[in-house]
Every structure is written in C-alpha cells, then in structure tokens.
Amino acid sequence: MTAPDLREVLATAEVIHDRATLEAAIERMAGEIAGEYANDARPPLYITVMHGGLPFAASLAMELGTLGIDLEFDYLHATRYRGQTSGSGLAWLHRPATPMQGRRVLLADDILDEGHTLLAVKRWCEDQGAADVRVAVLAVKVHDRCIEGVCADYVGVEVPDRYVFGYGMDYHEQGRNLPAIYALAE
C-alpha cells in the first residue's frame, strides 16, 4: 500500500504545538530533570526510545548539557505502531547494550499514548537491575485509555485524543522531522 502524501495531509492538518512552544517546554523539562541528577556521582544512562524519541531526546540532551548535566547515551527500539495509526503487539527491534545494574536510567520518548510501550520498556530496565528508572516524554495524549500504573515523570506538552505527528512522530513513516506537532484533520 502506498502511504498517503504528506503534503496533502499537512494541507488539512492542525498545528497543535509550534516549534517555539516545544522548545520552551523542553527547556523547562531540562530544568526539572537537572535538579534530580545534579548531585549524582555518575551520569544517568540516557536511553532514547527509537525512532520517535530521537529529535526530542537530542534537544533535551543539549538543554541538559547546557545546565551541566552529563549523560551516558544508549538507545532501544520497541515499536507497536510500525508506521500505522493504531497500535498492536510490542516488537523489540533493539535492546540497549550498556549494563544497567545499579544505574539510574532516564528514558526519553516522544509520546505517552496508551502506555503499553513505556510500561514494557520500564519493566525491562527494572528487570535488568536499574537502580531507578525515570521517564521523560515530549507529549502525553489526553484520554482515559492509558493502562494503569503508567505515568511519565517529566512531560513537555499535552496533545488531544487524535493521531498526532511531527517532532519525531510519524504519519506512515513520514513527517518525523517536522519541527512542530500536528494533528490529522478530524
């Protein structure tokens, strides 16, 4: 199946958060996160949840660096949407290679939607022996379908209960490098 044309989709999509809003939210998050890790002897293990988390994780890492917080980088790839607009079973495509035993782990992802991805990823890190696992997400989708017991420690913005894309999030694997968050026309 050919993906719908991104330009056509953008013509009717709605900007939910523009770039300046997202950058301000990330700067604010970095301030909150820096307070948590400032006095640690060892940098947190900073895990980007690929692919969607990449732009956000990079921006947040730079803001944290500006505040004097060092990070050790690794990444994982767990996907349940696979280019579609509704999720199914979670597939692990890559697990982090860095040992987590006794480490403080900070996960960076683009969106907390129904919570299945972050719950599984967080549990996996805990099973690896991480001392502490915190979660930073750029966006939280507002609805009542989020599974129980999942929440992010640091949140950039809220998005409505619509399919959103941009700033890491894809629309049929397109639009991840758009510097704003859009919602599909209703």
| 162 sits near ligand PRP (criterion: CB under 6 A) | no
Amino acid at 91: A
Count of residues near ligand HPA by CB under 6 A: 7
* Footprint on residues 65-84 left by ligand HPA (CB under 6 A): 81
Residue 46 interacting entry, from ligand PRP, ligand HPA, none, C-beta within 5 to 8 Å by type: none
Beta carbon of residue 40, minimum distance to ligand PRP (angstroms, whole number): 26
In the chain, the N- to C-terminal Cα span, in Å, equals 22
Binding to ligand PRP by CB under 6 A, coded x per residue (else -) over 54-83, reads: -------------------------xxx--
Q: Cα separation of 13 and 131, whole Å? A: 42
Relative to beta strand 45-50, strand 72-79 is: parallel
Tokens of 108: 């960076």
Residue 165 interacting entry, from ligand PRP, ligand HPA, none, C-beta within 5 to 8 Å by type: ligand HPA
* Interacting residue with ligand HPA among 16, 71, 135, 169 (CB under 6 A): 169
Taking contact as CB under 6 A, which single stretch among the options 39-47, 61-69, 149-157, 161-169 is the one that binds ligand HPA? Answer: 161-169
Q: Cα separation of 42 and 104, whole Å? A: 9
* Footprint on residues 96-115 left by ligand HPA (CB under 6 A): 111, 113
Taking contact as CB under 6 A, which single stretch among the options 4-12, 118-126, 143-151, 157-165 is the one that binds ligand HPA? Answer: 157-165
Helix 54-66 vs helix 19-37: angle between axes, to the nearest 10 degrees? Answer: 60
Whether residue 116 is preceded by a cis peptide bond, meaning omega within 30 degrees of 0, is: no
Residue 115 interacting entry, from ligand HPA, ligand PRP, none, C-beta within 5 to 8 Å by type: ligand PRP
Q: Cα separation of 21 and 31, whole Å? A: 16
Q: Cα separation of 186 and 179, whole Å? A: 21
- Residue 94: strand pairing partners: 77
Tokens of 63: 């803001």
- For ligand PRP, the binding residues (CB under 6 A) are 49-52, 79-81, 87, 109-117, 170
- Residue numbers of the site for ligand HPA (CB under 6 A)? 81, 111, 113, 163-165, 169
